[in-house]
Every structure is written in structure tokens, then in C-alpha cells.
Amino acid sequence: MTIASFTSLLGEEFVQNALVAGAIAAIVAGIVGPFVVVRNMAFAVHGIAELGFTGAAGALLIGLDPILGVMVGSLGVAGLIGALGVRSRERDSVIGVILAFGLGLGVLFITLYDRYATGAFALLFGTITGVSRDQLLLLGGCGLAVVVALALIYRPLLFASVDPDVAEARGVPVRALSIGFLAIMAFAEAEAIQVVGVLLILSLMIAPAAAAGHLTASPGATVLLSVALALLASIGGILLSLVTPYPASVFTTGISFAAYVLARLFGSRLRSGSGRLPRDPVPAVATTTLGPHA
């Protein structure tokens, strides 16, 4: 492909729409992601995303818009997780149980639906090159709502996520925030799934945030880095798909995976380099006074 044909592709409306949609999904996922990682909720992200697919299959079967199905599936599962297991230890078992059963239901719906379920499969792998202006507006509006909601609860959510006992003692509504965050996460996923697919939302919501956590120890910088890496993966994936015969999700998942691996391998020096001083400034006097009786 020549440079000229690449730039002319960039002028196409469907490419521009794809880039904007990819950027919105990346920004939303990049902001939600660090909280997902800190709160150990990667598995919940999976459960919600994959049961969005079951919802879509169910909606197709009874003749409804699959997008409605995604919303019902994702938010319904988030509600179940919230009701059955807010504490992380029981939460993963609850998600495992619901996820397996829900995917089984999805298979049943697809089997019963005797036509080829393009709509449902499109939701699995994304149809980013087929985004319309109307969908963009919807995506942008929902994305903005997620970002604003998260900004409003940012401080107490961070407090409750990293230091729940003290947060509770200080009057932070820890349990309500857990459920609120679950709802925000499910909403963010459901709206992004419609555009970028289940697979992409998983790679944009977890890997960039996990990579960012290996690169910096500042909570604010983690969010910014996570957004930057998600944008790199999303936009980079779409641009690479224009010049190759492969779909964007292949490159997006590849880029976020590579970012995580590189951050893990080389991040620790960068991360602890700031402010790490010699250990244990406590004088040794204290232990020596106890001698053999210690």
C-alpha cells in the first residue's frame, strides 16, 4: 500500500468513525482499568463482557435488538455479582458459577436461533469499521457519563479500594461504592462492547492498567498512563488493520499484551527508582536492649 492510498483511507468517513470510536473506548477503559486492577476485578470484567454476549444471543432469539440484550446481560450480571458476592474472595467463585452457566445459555440461544447469528458474533469480535455517526454520538455520551461518574467518586473509591478498613472508619460508604463501581464498570463495558466487541474491551480494560501499575506508583499517573497505553493499542490496532489484511482486534490485543510484558520486564526499576532510599531508618538500639530474651 502506498502512502497516498493510506492517507486517502484516512479521509474516509468509516475510518474516521472507527478511530473516534476506538479512542472513546480506549479512554473509558483506560480510566476504569486501574480501579479494576487495584480491586482485583479482572475476572468480573470477563464475566460481565462475556455474558453481554449471552444477552445479545438471547435478544436475537426473541426478536429484540442485540444491543438491548448486551445491556441487560452485562448490567444483570453486575447486579448478581453485587448481590451475591461483594467481598473479593467469594466474588470470584460467584462469577465463575454465573459465567459458565451464562455461556452455556448463550450456546443454547445460538443453537435455537436457526439463522446465522451474525449480530451476536459481531459483538464478540467487534465491528469497529461499521460504526455510524449515530452510534458515535451514543458511545460518546455514555463514555462521558462513565468518566463523570468516576470523577465524582474518585477519592472515596480510591480510599475504599486501597485501604478499606481505615476508609470505613472514616465514614466512607465502602459497600455502596463497591456496588456503584460494579455498575459503572458494567455500563462502560456494555456500551463499548457494541462498538469494539467483547475481545477488545477485555484487552483495553485490563492490560494497559496492569502495565501502568508496573511503571509508576502514583495513582494519578497510573490512570494517565493506562489511558495512553489503551489509546496506543486501540488507535494503533485500527491503523495497522488499514495497511494489512488482518482485523484491528488482532493488533490491539497484541499491542496491549506487548505493553504489559515490557512493563513487567523493565518497569520495576523505573517504578521504585523514585524515592526509594536505604531501608529501615529505625535505629538498631531497640532490638539490642532485649538481647537473648527477645
Partner 1 sequence: MSERRFQAEPGPVIRLAGAAMRYGDRTLWESLDLEVGAGEFLAVIGPNGAGKSTLLRVLLGLERLSAGSAEVLGRAPRRGNASVGYVPQQRAFDRELPLRGRDLVRLGLDGHRWGLPFPRADARELVQHALDEVGATAFADAPIGLLSGGEQQRLGIAQALLRDPDVLLCDEPLLNLDLGHQKEVARLIARRQAEAGTAVVFVTHEVNPVLPMVDRILVLVGGRWALGPPEEVLTTETMTALYRSPVDVLRVRGRIVVVGAPEGAGNVGHNEHSDFTEPLPSYDT
Nearer to partner 1, 78 or 167 (CB): 167
Per-residue binding letters, 53-92, with partner 1 (x by CB under 8 A): ----------------------------------------
Instruction: Among 218, 258, 261, 270, indicate the residue that binds partner 1 (CB under 8 A).
Output: 218
Element (DSSP H or E) covering residue 118: helix 118-125
Give the three cell numbers for residue 204.
Answer: 483495553
Residue 33 within binding range of partner 1, rule CB under 8 A: no
Residue 256 within binding range of partner 1, rule CB under 8 A: no
Query: Count of residues binding partner 1 (CB under 8 A)?
Result: 50
Residue 133 within binding range of partner 1, rule CB under 8 A: no
Burial of 197 (0-12, 13-18, 19+ CB in 10 A): buried
| Diameter of the chain measured on Cα atoms | 81
CB of 195 to partner 1, least distance (A): 27
Is residue 39 a contact partner of residue 174, using CB atoms and an 8 Å limit? no
Rounded CA separation 262/218 (Å): 19
Rounded CA separation 25/191 (Å): 9
Residue 269 within binding range of partner 1, rule CB under 8 A: no
Residue 270 within binding range of partner 1, rule CB under 8 A: no
Residue 257 within binding range of partner 1, rule CB under 8 A: no
Residue 27 within binding range of partner 1, rule CB under 8 A: no
CB of 221 to partner 1, least distance (A): 8
CB of 94 to partner 1, least distance (A): 22
Nearer to partner 1, 63 or 171 (CB): 171
Distances (CA, A) of 89 to 52, 93, 162, 235: 23, 8, 16, 36
Give the binding range for partner 1 (CB under 8 A) out of 61-69, 191-199, 240-248, 283-291: 283-291
Residue 110 within binding range of partner 1, rule CB under 8 A: no
Rounded CA separation 189/250 (Å): 19
Instruction: Among 11, 63, 245, 281, indicate the residue that binds partner 1 (CB under 8 A).
Output: 281
Residue 148 within binding range of partner 1, rule CB under 8 A: no
Give the binding range for partner 1 (CB under 8 A) out of 98-106, 187-195, 210-218, 242-250: 210-218
Rounded CA separation 289/294 (Å): 9
Per-residue binding letters, 220-249, with partner 1 (x by CB under 8 A): xxx---------------------------
End-to-end CA distance of the chain: 75
Is residue 253 a contact partner of residue 52, using CB atoms and an 8 Å limit? no
User: Minimal CA–CA distance to 123: which of 204, 57, 186?
Assistant: 57
Residue 163 backbone dihedrals phi, psi, to 5 degrees: -145, 60
Is residue 180 a contact partner of residue 192, using CB atoms and an 8 Å limit? no
Cβ count near 52 (within 10 Å): 34
Give the three cell numbers for residue 285.
Answer: 538500639
Instruction: Among 30, 34, 66, 102, indicate the residue that binds partner 1 (CB under 8 A).
Output: 34
Residues that bind partner 1 (CB under 8 A): 34, 37-38, 151-156, 158-159, 162-163, 165-172, 210, 212-214, 216-222, 271-272, 274-277, 279-287, 290, 293-294
